[in-house]
């Protein structure tokens, strides 16, 4: 079964840009450095957004 209401899921761009991909962020910096090793940078944040949606919102879930 797919996640119900997945079409309505919100992944806020500022969470991706200012937290997950910001190497200067106090708590998100380590995550940003790791994601950068996989090619995810602030400049291409839409790629991370698309990959998160494809891998998590389209995954099979047990309910």
User: Is residue 63 predicted with pLDDT exceeding 80?
Assistant: no
pLDDT, residue 7, reads 87
pLDDT the model gives residue 42: 97
Q: What is the pLDDT of residues 18-44, one digit of tens each?
A: 999 999 999 999 999 999 999 999 999
Residue given tokens 């899921």 in the structure block = 9
Calculate the CA dihedral of residues 25, 16, 52, 46 and round it to 10 degrees: -130
d(CA 38, CA 52): 13
Which residue would you say has higher pLDDT here, 3 or 25?
25
Give the pLDDT confidence score for residue 61 in this predicted structure: 84
């Amino acid at each position: 079964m797919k996640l119900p209401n997945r079409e309505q899921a919100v992944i806020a761009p500022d969470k991706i840009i200012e937290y997950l991909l910001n190497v200067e962020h106090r708590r998100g910096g380590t995550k940003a450095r790791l994601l950068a090793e996989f090619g995810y940078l602030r400049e291409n944040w839409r790629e991370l957004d698309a990959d998160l949606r494809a891998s998590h919102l389209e995954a099979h879930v047990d309910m």
